[in-house]
């Protein structure tokens, strides 16, 4: 500006200038110093403002969390912030305006600041300088203290460079941890690009479980892993709405095209700078199979595969609801095997299970497609017949079930014969609710068993009264046994030749508080059916042995052994324990068994009998002559005694048939060296005939009824006082 004023003044002082012009020139010259001072002040102010702006700019970039550096077109330092200097603290002493970045890199490489350059120093420096002028270059740089720096550089319009530096060491550590966990995780895991769902990586578990090579997966998308039927909802699954599918099962295809059930859990991640999806695929094929099995077992019997009680009720309720709309009939059949417990106890539970499985198949084979068979528990089954509109059809099915179950079964090389009883309830006549029909069919089943078993019966209203009475007797019997309400009475055995008392038979009696004495013929079968007979038999054996131990030494004790007691097992131990605890001499104990026991499993029973006889205990066959093969059993086991059934004794006075049978038994017993005892002697004529044919002992009301143990001394005294009677 001063030069401009000087030029103007020179022009104004030209020779042709007028006087007024010279005057103006003088004025201008006199004002020049003031103007020059004012201009200098303005320049200084601008410089100060520029310096203030520069300070503010530096303060601003120093506040940035990233390192910032500005280079000119020659790669020389123009500007950098404190964060940049902190990142490269080992090289910070080299940073000066005008110094080339390449020079600082070379010095840093020589000092070992950049481990990536080791062994290839010049090449590394050249690559770094070349990348400096590539637009939008981003790369990572490791420095000697183990940190990783992300470099992001941009070109300016004048050819310079603005660079950002970010310490991503923690991020790299997290990525390394992620990679380690990713690879070591036993659950198959995949990473896919979010944009196109192309699989970027998979862990070892995924490669192993799916059977793919990693290079094969790089050509696949997430959709390729899924079964085609699942493709409908896959966009939602992998586009950020995975939470709505949490816990849902999907099907994946392995490399060999086999299908597996998986539960998928996904989340959004960034791999490098690429938005991606991380998902884990948990193979739940076995769990699904287990769940299906649990669901199946919740509605089916594990042993037979038939429906269980829960499923039966559901299906029956469904049928009853359908019946209300269609008006068709429904029938419920309850089926129970007769004497199954005997088979289970004698042959073992494995044989019993095998029998139940075969039974189930036969029952199922008798039904139509819409009918249903179920196992209610133990040896109890039920059948529901749909569209059961005619009783004749229901009867036909019931009889068919009875017939197919009557055919022999083969179990462990044994032939087993069973019978079944069936109770029937019809809807709507016998009830319209599932529980009512099942209850009434069960009542009809009880009636079928009482009527001789191996048959079917329809429900009738009065059955409820009879069954309730029977169930009350069963409950009362349990209480009587537990509370000491059962008594043992003793009936004398008398020698017919010498007319002397030789011993007593222990007989169980039940004085019911409401009905009085209930006959053994009524409550013993109930005890056998409800499983109480084993405990009752042991009770009688123990108590009778203790009672007999106090009698005269020559008085023997006879105790009946139920066939079911042998099926339970440990008979030998029960007998030896009773003898040991009571002190009774083994030779004074006599066990009475029936042919029914030998019919079931003769070899096993005979082994036990021989062991018991080895203790010195006598074995007697009771009710001889009433069975089918008494003679064969006498050949198989040398019984000490056989007892003639009272039915033959009662027939003595009514014809020659009973007398002939008794004479034959006498001859048989004599030839085999066995004692013969006749039961049920009530008259003198019966006694005289038996003594005349050589019968050894008699028992019956002629001598005494069975009486409590407290009256045994009285029986002995009475018989001893009678003419020709005395105690041996």
- Give per-residue pLDDT as tens, 174-191: 777 777 777 778 889 899
Which pLDDT value is given to residue 657? Answer: 81
616: domain CATH number is 3.20.20.450
pLDDT range class, residue 727, cuts 50, 70, 90: very low
pLDDT in tens, 72-84: 988 899 888 888 8
Return the minimum-mean-pLDDT range out of 57-61, 91-95, 661-665: 57-61
Confidence of residue 680 (pLDDT cuts 50, 70, 90): very high
Residue 549 lies in a domain: no
322 inside domain = yes
Q: Please identify which residue in the block is written with the tokens 């004529």.
A: 685
- Choose the weakest-confidence range: 115-129, 267-281, 478-492: 267-281
Same domain (yes/no): 678, 712: yes
Position 327 scores a pLDDT of 78
Residues 327, 218 share a domain: no
Say whether pTM exceeds 0.85. no
Q: At what angle do helices 463-482 and 533-548 cross, to 10 degrees?
A: 40
Residues 83 and 54 in one domain: no
In a domain, 512, yes or no: no
CB 460 within 8 A of CB 440: no
pLDDT at 237: 65
Whether pLDDT at 668 is above 90: no
Query: Looking at the domain assignment, is residue 247 inside a domain?
Result: yes
Portion of the chain with pLDDT greater than 70, in percent = 87
pLDDT band per the 50, 70, 90 thresholds, residue 557:
very high
pLDDT band of 726, cuts 50, 70, 90: very low
431 within a domain of the structure (yes/no): yes
Q: How far is CA 635 from CA 164, 231, 566, 668, in A?
A: 112, 81, 21, 11
Query: Same structural domain for residues 328 and 451?
Result: yes
CATH code for the domain in which residue 158 is found:
3.30.450.20
Is 400 found in the same domain as 349? yes
Closest by Cα among 266, 269, 268, 270 to 279: 266
In this structure, the answer to whether residues 142 and 233 fall within a common structural domain is no
Half-sphere exposure of 248 (CA within 13 A, CB side): 14
Is 34 contained in some domain?
A: yes
Task: Note whether 384 and 440 are same-domain residues.
Answer: yes
Residues 283 and 377 in one domain: no
pLDDT at 14: 47
Q: Are residues 570 and 495 in the same domain?
A: yes
Tell me the HSE value of 207 on the side-chain side, using a 13 A CA sphere.
Answer: 14
Residue 621 placed within a domain: yes
Same domain for 126 and 186, yes or no, is no
Q: Using the predicted structure, report yes or no on whether residue 581 has a pLDDT greater than 90.
A: yes
Helices (H), 349-485: 349-365, 391-406, 434-450, 463-482
How do residues 207-260 score in pLDDT, each as one tens digit?
998 999 888 888 888 888 888 877 766 666 666 554 555 557 888 989 898 889
Q: What is the mean pLDDT of residues 379-388?
A: 91
Pairing of strands 161-167, 67-71: antiparallel
Q: At which of 266, 289, 312 does a domain end?
A: 289
Instruction: Answer whether residue 441 is part of any domain.
Output: yes
Residues 358 and 265 reside in one and the same domain:
no
> Average per-residue pLDDT in the chain?
84
674 and 600 in a common domain: yes
User: Do 480 and 486 form a contact (C-beta atoms < 8 A)?
Assistant: yes
Angle at 234 between CA 231 and CA 235, to 5 degrees: 125
Q: Which position has the token pair 């089916």?
A: 300
Mean pLDDT (whole number) for 698-708: 93
State residue 10's pLDDT score.
47
Helix (H, G, I), strand (E, B) or coil at 33: helix
Count how many domains the chain has.
Answer: 5
Range with the largest mean pLDDT of 65-69, 498-502, 608-612: 608-612
- In 124-222, the DSSP E strands lie at 137-142, 148-155, 161-167, 189-193, 199-202
Confidence (pLDDT) at 3 = 45
For 506-555, how does the pLDDT look when each residue is reduced to its tens digit (9 = 90+)? 999 999 999 999 999 889 988 988 889 999 999 999 999 999 999 998 89
Q: By 3-state DSSP, what share of the chain in percent is helix, strand and coil, each rounded to 5?
A: 50, 25, 25
CATH number of the domain encompassing residue 313: 3.30.70.270
The domain of 397 spans 300-461
Choice between 345 and 612, residue whose per-residue pLDDT is larger: 612
pLDDT at residue 601, as a whole number? 60
Domain boundary among the residues 37, 59, 81 is at 59
Predicted local confidence at residue 235, as pLDDT? 64
């Amino acid at each position: 500006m001063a030069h401009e004023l000087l030029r103007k003044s020179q022009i104004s002082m030209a020779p042709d200038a007028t006087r007024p012009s010279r005057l103006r020139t003088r004025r201008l010259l006199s004002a020049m110093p003031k103007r020059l001072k004012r201009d200098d002040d303005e320049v200084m102010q601008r410089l100060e403002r520029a310096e203030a702006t520069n300070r503010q700019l530096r303060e601003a970039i120093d506040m940035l969390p990233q390192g910032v550096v500005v280079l000119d077109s020659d790669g020389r330092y123009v500007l950098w912030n404190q964060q940049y200097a902190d990142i490269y603290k080992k090289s910070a002493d080299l940073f000066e305006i005008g110094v080339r970045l390449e020079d600082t890199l070379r010095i840093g490489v020589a000092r070992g600041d950049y481990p990536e350059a080791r062994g290839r120093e010049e090449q590394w420096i050249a690559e770094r300088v070349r990348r400096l002028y590539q637009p939008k270059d981003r790369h990572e740089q490791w420095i000697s203290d183990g940190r990783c720096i992300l470099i992001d550089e941009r070109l300016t319009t004048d050819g310079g460079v603005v660079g950002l530096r970010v310490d991503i060491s923690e991020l790299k550590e997290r990525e390394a941890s992620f990679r380690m966990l990713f690879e070591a995780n036993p659950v198959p895991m995949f990473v896919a690009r979010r944009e196109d769902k192309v699989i970027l990586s998979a862990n070892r578990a995924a490669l192993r479980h799916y059977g793919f090579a990693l290079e094969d997966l790089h050509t696949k998308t997430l959709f390729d892993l899924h079964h085609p039927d699942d493709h409908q909802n896959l966009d939602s699954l992998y586009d950020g709405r995975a939470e709505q599918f949490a816990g849902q099962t999907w099907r994946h295809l392995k490399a060999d095209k086999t299908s597996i059930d998986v539960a998928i859990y996904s989340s959004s991640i960034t791999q490098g700078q690429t938005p991606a999806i991380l998902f884990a695929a948990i193979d739940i094929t076995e769990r699904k199979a287990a769940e299906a099995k649990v669901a199946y077992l919740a509605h089916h019997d594990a042993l037979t595969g038939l429906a269980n009680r829960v499923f039966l009720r559901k299906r029956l309720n469904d049928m009853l609801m359908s019946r209300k709309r269609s008006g068709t009939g429904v029938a419920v059949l309850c089926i129970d095997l007769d004497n199954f417990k005997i088979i289970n106890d004698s042959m073992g539970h494995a044989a019993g299970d095998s029998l139940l499985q075969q039974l189930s198949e036969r029952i199922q084979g008798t039904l139509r497609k819409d009918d249903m068979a179920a196992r209610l528990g133990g040896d109890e089954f039920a059948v529901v017949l749909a569209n059961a509109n005619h009783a004749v059809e229901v009867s036909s099915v019931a009889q068919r079930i009875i017939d197919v179950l009557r055919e022999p079964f083969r179990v462990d090389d044994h032939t087993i014969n069973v019978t079944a009883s069936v109770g029937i309830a019809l809807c709507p006549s016998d009830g319209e609710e599932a529980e009512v029909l099942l209850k009434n069919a069960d009542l009809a089943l009880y009636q079928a068993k009482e009527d001789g078993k191996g048959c079917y019966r329809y429900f009738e209203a009065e059955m409820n009264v009879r069954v309730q009475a029977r169930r009350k007797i069963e409950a009362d019997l349990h209480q009587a046994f537990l509370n000491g309400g059962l008594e043992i009475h003793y009936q004398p055995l008398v020698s017919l030749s010498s007319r002397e008392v030789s011993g007593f038979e222990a007989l169980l009696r039940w004085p019911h508080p409401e009905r009085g004495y209930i006959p053994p013929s009524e409550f013993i079968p109930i005890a056998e059916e409800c499983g109480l007979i084993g405990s009752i038999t042991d009770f009688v054996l123990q108590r009778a042995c203790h009672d007999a131990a106090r009698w005269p030494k020559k008085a023997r004790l006879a105790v009946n052994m139920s066939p079911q007691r042998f099926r339970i097992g440990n008979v030998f131990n029960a007998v030896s324990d009773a003898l040991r605890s009571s002190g009774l001499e083994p030779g004074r104990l006599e066990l009475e068994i029936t042919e029914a026991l030998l019919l079931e499993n003769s070899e096993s029973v005979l082994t036990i009998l021989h062991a018991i006889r080895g203790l010195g205990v006598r074995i007697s066959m009771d009710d001889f002559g009433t069975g089918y093969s008494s003679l064969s059993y006498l050949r198989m086991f040398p019984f000490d005694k056989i007892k003639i059934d009272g039915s033959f004794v009662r027939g003595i006075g009514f014809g020659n048939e009973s007398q002939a049978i008794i004479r034959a038994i006498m001859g048989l017993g004599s030839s085999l060296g066995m004692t013969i005892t006749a039961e049920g002697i009530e008259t003198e004529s019966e006694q005289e005939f038996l003594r005349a044919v050589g019968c050894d002992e008699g028992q019956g009301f002629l001598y005494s009824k069975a009486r409590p143990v407290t009256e045994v001394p009285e029986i002995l005294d009475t018989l001893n006082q009678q003419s020709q009677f005395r105690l041996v």
